[in-house]
Structure 1
Amino acid sequence: MCQLFLRVVSQAARAAALGFVLACAHPASAADAPEYRFTQYERAVTVDDSGRTVKHVVFSVVLSSDAAVQRFSQYVVSYNGDLQTLTIDAAQTVHANGEKVPADLKAAVFDQPTPTSTVAPMFSSQRLRFVAFPAVKRGDTVQLSYTLTDRAPMLPGKFDEIVYFPPTEAYDAALETLDTPAGMPVRIDAKGMQLVSDTVQGKRRTQIYRYRTPANGPLHEQADTVSPLDTGPYFIATNYADYAQLGRVYEEGVESRVARSQPIQALADRITQGVTDRRRQAVLIYDWVSRNIRYLAAWVGAGPVVPHNADEVLRNGYGDCKDHDVLFISLLAAKGIRADSVLVNLGNSYRLPAAPTWAAFNHAITWLPEFGVFADTTSGFSPFGVLTFSSSDKPALDTVTGHMLHTPPQNGENSLSSSDYTIKVGENGDADVRGAFVLNGQAAFTPRRALFRYSGDRIGYELMKKIGLTGALHVAALNRGAIDQPLELDLTGTVNSIALMPGPAALAIPTMPGYSSIKAFADYVLVQASQPVEAPCGGTAVHEHYDVTLPASSRIIAIPPNVDSKNGVIHYTATYRQNGQSVEIDRVLERNFQTNVCGPDVLKQWFGTALEISTDLKRQILYR
């Protein structure tokens, strides 16, 4: 994920830092009281004519469980050390008997950088400030007051504020106060909140919004959901007129960084030497940038939404998503191929708030209108024109035209997993296995990345562990380096105790190790259908073929019946054929998704089909 802007809203950062699940499931019952409750939450934002903001936050949280004590005894506020100053104004613990224990703001407050990854190290000035509350125990209240002040606006004259109120948390009253110049046009999207007042005094306008947890209480956490930007409640305020204006602001930074230099031209000519087909030229340039420019999650320099100069990125050999994009655009321009920067969300957000906000975007990719293709050189393991699942089915802001495009959803057209397993069961019940995989499009991304990081034995171990099998499995790539071709894998090894020998007994046809699973889809539908909040859903087409051979001492009595189940965009087939001591099995799951967001209504429609799939996967070969 590439940080397009580095000012993280304190409430959203708090939720992320503490690992909260911001989306939701079922309402908590009266008997199931919340583990903690915000008895006070007030956030006042003052904006001056330059767009510079000062945010003052005060809250009180009653902790009713040991888990809540663990969660809130140390509180995290995120801020950008280059762009903001953070002051902890007051912090204290209030015991149930009313006794107040102030925190030592020197000894109990400390900073550290945001976590980084060795795969995508993050060079940024983003900081986490920790506040440790003293002597906290169940039944206490922790209180905190802090102020975030902009050193300067991220962009002159512009501001953009956002705060979430997770419905999994209990708020007696959350107040958001926005104080702006009276003449400043402000757009507000306060989903799930109520306007309390809107007043003008002199040259200042003050608007106050309120959120309260519904009377039936907060919602239980749901592990797999879309983003809070898709569900709310949230408060967004900005003086951007629309998303097109936001895109133009970003494009101004890109235009100044696209290089038309001799080194760029020479490199573009060398990469495409002897190639006249324009699409093939684009593919070769994409491959070169993907392989030769190291991706860093964030690289701060000219500014949070301004990429580095393409010549600088080329010299250094690394950059963030913005830098990848500007170098790719520069090299394409050297061959006369137009390409536009595009902003997307690399996460679980699939819809745009009504008020334009930078929070809707956290990643830059490239749009090539001549070929109708989106390309992301930061993925490193995807062929030209293939995005990862996290950037699929997303609003995509073309910063050149201001148009809102949309990335294609993941489905069988761009993601296919095909496996062919030979399973020979021995007299002791163990099995020798041999598998051949062909993974196309998005389905190849995860295994390509695994091959880059781990040995074949380690990959085999992790695949076996994931589905609860024991034994030994080695994974080898037949065409590791050819990312523009389907990935071919060879799997060899043994699986322990796959059958009871001698019979009579029944062999449950196993789900063998793989990267896309029919079982995973059936389980997803059966679980998520009872949840009220939409969730991301993958659409990879899955083809599984098994040839299972039992020992010569066994005799097959019965095999499962064939299955053919179609329900809207879902089609599942399973065929079983006996040939002496062997059973040949073909299972195919097609998902012709037009979106990667699945809500409760559609999941309930698929429930019967998912149950039929789940039942079929449990069927057995009877033998003696």
Structure 2
Amino acid sequence: MSRFFRQIPYALASCLVALGAWAAPAPDADEPSTVVSDVHEFVVADDGSVSEDDRTVLRANTAAGVDEIAQRYVWYDRSVSKVDIVEAYSVDANGARHDVSSDQIRDIQEPRSAGAPTFQDAKLRAVIFPAVGVGSTVHLHSRKSQASPVIPGQFGYYVEPGQRPVLDQQLVFDLPAAKPLYADTRGYVARAPVTANGRTRYVFDYRREQIARIESGSVGYAQYGDRLMVSTFPDYASFAASYRASAADASASDPAVRALAQTLTANDADARAKARTLYDWVRRNIRYVAMFIGQSPAVPHRVTDVLANRYGDCKDHVALYGALLDAVGIRNEPALIGLGSVYSLPSVPGYGAGAINHIITYLPDFAMFADSTASSVEFGFLPLADMDRPTLLVDSGALSRTPATQPLSRTARLQIDVAPQGEATFAYWVQDAGWSAELERMNLRLASAQRRDQIAADRLRFTNLRGAGALTTTDVDATSGPFATTLRGTLDDVVWPTGTTALPALTSLSGGIATQTRNWLAERSRTQPYLCVGGAYDEVSQIVLPKTMRVAEVPDDLELTSGFFRYRSRYVFDPASNVIQVSRTLDARFGKQVCSPDDFEASLPALRKIERDTQAQIIVKVSAQ
């Protein structure tokens, strides 16, 4: 969803429909709520400052819809913006009007500012509507003026409609005639621009009564659904130049910055080691305040202030990391990117949830990107939210792309020793390598003793096992390389001491091949592009049974190769020792982050066979006396 519709409420629209008509059944009545009318008008000045008049009517169709519409928020930056609630009221199902009183309008702190003083200007004006029930409508008319533009002399706006029916929406942009507006539309219908008295008026209409369910694992709606991006920038090169100019900061070469960089890297043997040391220092010492770029003027705070405060948003992270790299002679370049689940950019540049909303660092000497806001990601890797996405290099103005894949491997060894009464002791060792290793390491680095116990219990519970275990790890203070955990404990009722037991042929606790396969098969069919992340998995288990039990049946081996998968399983039973060994390997290679519905259909036969194999059972019976 766009920044506007996620954080700014739907504004009050003129009542174009008689109140009685809203009580009649509508084709969208099964949806929790509906946008009945929605008009947003932006008047842009030559300097890029903007005034915005918003009028919206929302209807609650169900009890869940009441929760969706009864409280609305207008996002604004107090330092550069002013918000007025012109009119706000609800109309109940009987047609009675209930006005919002002054004490039902209040400002609250934007939660993502996380208490950081330099981000305290980010506010939400909350409007709490009274007497909202099923069949009610809420009406909100607000005005917002922004004296300082996000980019001086320029204007941009991104919107996508969200997951509710829209009966009538209109976006109006009024700009100086000498400042043309470029647009990338999907689903929004543009009217012919009208120029008069030195200004041009652009209007976009939108309507959608039916919405498709977002499928499990689907990429962001903006990747394939309706959205609108408008911008006064003709191309991405000029957009990059605007950020480059605003980011200029004399304090980046401050002696304290240089001294810190040189001290931290004094023992590093080469440039890459220095870049890693500085990256690790920034990600572990500069708290990330997750305010998306473009919500306020796109200017980083001074590097010296970021260093002193020890926190900052993505712009601040890039500015400080870049200054530290400069101090030791390592080339670097800011890279604007769309963070999240959208893997393409609109054809016209601008900030927004489905456009550019984040910035990372490009290191040309190593041909790699780094995102120091991702505190749980090792140097040399990227968080999944940054992978396989177009990025705009700020210094060169060129569009590039982050890597489509990065290494991931997981090795698991499971030992289960069953006692005559059916309980068991177990030992489980798993090693993560590649991009997931530091994620797991940091998860346990930050975990208290109680949290570790809960993690151990969850790993058994999510594997449908009952028992208890204690968790140990390799060095959690390391910042790179593979990471291993060991879980030891006891299991209840693994095998029944009487009769027959269908014993799961486990090779891993939750998180292994079986878990990944279930995730890929979360939908029976797909109509939307979806996230597909590959990796290499190697799992072996050994189950030791007491002499009082015998194995009646062992699953068949399986080996298959398809377009994306190479899979192999082996089941070996030694009657002399009453030991069963199960091994599974899976190599999933998609070569990309986003797969199509056609890819899903092509992979289904292999995935179903793999899923069936991971759910295989070993039939165990009590030995005859």
Check whether TM > 0.5. Answer: yes
* SS of equivalent residue, structure 2 residue 126: strand
2:505–2:614: 8 Å Cα contact kept in structure 1? yes
Percentage of identical aligned residues: 28
1:545–1:587: 8 Å Cα contact kept in structure 2? yes
- Aligned residue number for residue 283 of structure 1: 276
1:482–1:31 distance in 2 versus 1, CA, 3 Å: closer
Give a deviation string over 1:583-612, Cα, whole Å, max 9, x none: 222222222122211232211111111111
Q: Does 1:431 align with 2:424?
A: yes
Q: Does 1:401 align with 2:391?
A: no
1:294–1:153 distance in 2 versus 1, CA, 3 Å: closer
- Aligned residue number for residue 546 of structure 2: 551
CA distance in 1, matches of 2:431, 2:308: 37
Q: Does 1:501 align with 2:497?
A: yes
* SS of equivalent residue, structure 1 residue 211: strand
* SS of equivalent residue, structure 1 residue 528: coil
- Aligned residue number for residue 352 of structure 1: 345
Report 1:546-585 matches (<5 A).
546-579=541-574, 580-585=577-582
Give a deviation string over 1:345-380, Cα, whole Å, max 9, x none: 331121101121111233322111111121222323
- Aligned residue number for residue 22 of structure 1: none
1:507–1:294 distance in 2 versus 1, CA, 3 Å: same
CA distance in 1, matches of 2:113, 2:512: 28
Q: Does 1:596 align with 2:564?
A: no
- Aligned residue number for residue 513 of structure 2: 518
1:450–1:119 distance in 2 versus 1, CA, 3 Å: farther
- Aligned residue number for residue 41 of structure 1: 38
- Aligned residue number for residue 22 of structure 2: none
1:223–1:260 distance in 2 versus 1, CA, 3 Å: same
CA distance in 1, matches of 2:509, 2:116: 28
- Aligned residue number for residue 109 of structure 1: 105
1:396–1:560 distance in 2 versus 1, CA, 3 Å: same
CA distance in 2, matches of 1:313, 1:491: 41
Q: 1:89 is matched by which residue type in structure 2?
A: V
* SS of equivalent residue, structure 1 residue 606: helix
- Aligned residue number for residue 74 of structure 1: 71
1:188–1:238: 8 Å Cα contact kept in structure 2? yes
2:110–2:122: 8 Å Cα contact kept in structure 1? yes
1:71–1:290 distance in 2 versus 1, CA, 3 Å: closer
1:195–1:353 distance in 2 versus 1, CA, 3 Å: same
CA distance in 1, matches of 2:32, 2:376: 43
Q: Per-residue deviation at 1:553?
A: 1.5
Q: Per-residue deviation at 1:334?
A: 2.2
Runs of 4+ in 1 over 4 A off after TM superposition: 29-32, 116-122
- Aligned residue number for residue 409 of structure 2: 416
Q: 1:53 is matched by which residue type in structure 2?
A: V
1:274–1:594 distance in 2 versus 1, CA, 3 Å: same
Q: Per-residue deviation at 1:226?
A: 2.0
Report 1:189-228 matches (<5 A).
189-213=184-208, 217-228=210-221
TM-score by length of 2: 0.89
- Aligned residue number for residue 19 of structure 2: none
- Aligned residue number for residue 474 of structure 2: 478
What is the CA RMSD across the aligned residues, in angstroms?
2.7
Q: Does 1:13 align with 2:7?
A: yes
1:97–1:263 distance in 2 versus 1, CA, 3 Å: closer
1:250–1:427 distance in 2 versus 1, CA, 3 Å: farther
- Aligned residue number for residue 179 of structure 2: 184
Mean Cα displacement is larger for which, 528-537 or 542-551? 528-537
Q: Does 1:156 align with 2:152?
A: yes
The higher relative CO (CA closer than 8 Å, separation ≥ 6) is in: 1
1:122–1:296: 8 Å Cα contact kept in structure 2? no
* SS of equivalent residue, structure 2 residue 252: coil
1:47–1:54: 8 Å Cα contact kept in structure 2? yes
Q: 2:410 is matched by which residue type in structure 1?
A: S
CA distance in 1, matches of 2:281, 2:612: 47
Q: 2:478 is matched by which residue type in structure 1?
A: A
TM-score by length of 1: 0.89
Give a deviation string over 1:549-592, Cα, whole Å, max 9, x none: 22222112221111122221222222222233222222222221
- Aligned residue number for residue 138 of structure 1: 134
- Aligned residue number for residue 384 of structure 2: 389
Q: 2:6 is matched by which residue type in structure 1?
A: A
CA distance in 1, matches of 2:429, 2:401: 35
- Aligned residue number for residue 21 of structure 2: none
1:502–1:32 distance in 2 versus 1, CA, 3 Å: farther
Q: 1:590 is matched by which residue type in structure 2?
A: D
2:30–2:62: 8 Å Cα contact kept in structure 1? no
1:500–1:185 distance in 2 versus 1, CA, 3 Å: same
Mean Cα displacement is larger for which, 314-323 or 419-428? 314-323
Q: 1:171 is matched by which residue type in structure 2?
A: V
Equivalent of 1:244 in 237, 240, 244: 237
- Aligned residue number for residue 88 of structure 2: 91
Q: Per-residue deviation at 1:501?
A: 2.6
* SS of equivalent residue, structure 1 residue 93: strand
* SS of equivalent residue, structure 1 residue 358: coil
- Aligned residue number for residue 298 of structure 2: 305
1:275–1:452 distance in 2 versus 1, CA, 3 Å: closer
CA distance in 2, matches of 1:232, 1:601: 18
Q: 2:332 is matched by which residue type in structure 1?
A: A
* SS of equivalent residue, structure 1 residue 493: strand
Q: 1:135 is matched by which residue type in structure 2?
A: A
1:122–1:584 distance in 2 versus 1, CA, 3 Å: farther
Q: Per-residue deviation at 1:385?
A: 0.8
Q: Per-residue deviation at 1:35?
A: 3.1
CA distance in 2, matches of 1:9, 1:363: 13
- Aligned residue number for residue 288 of structure 2: 295
1:451–1:504 distance in 2 versus 1, CA, 3 Å: same
* SS of equivalent residue, structure 1 residue 527: coil
* SS of equivalent residue, structure 1 residue 326: helix
Q: 2:399 is matched by which residue type in structure 1?
A: M
Q: Per-residue deviation at 1:433?
A: 1.6
CA distance in 1, matches of 2:416, 2:116: 39
CA distance in 2, matches of 1:436, 1:385: 26
Q: Does 1:125 align with 2:118?
A: no
For these two proteins, the number of residue pairs brought into alignment is: 597
1:148–1:541 distance in 2 versus 1, CA, 3 Å: farther
Mean Cα displacement is larger for which, 362-371 or 492-501? 492-501
Q: Which runs of 5+ in 1 are unaligned?
A: 1-7, 17-28
1:307–1:31 distance in 2 versus 1, CA, 3 Å: closer
CA distance in 2, matches of 1:573, 1:30: 50
1:172–1:263 distance in 2 versus 1, CA, 3 Å: closer
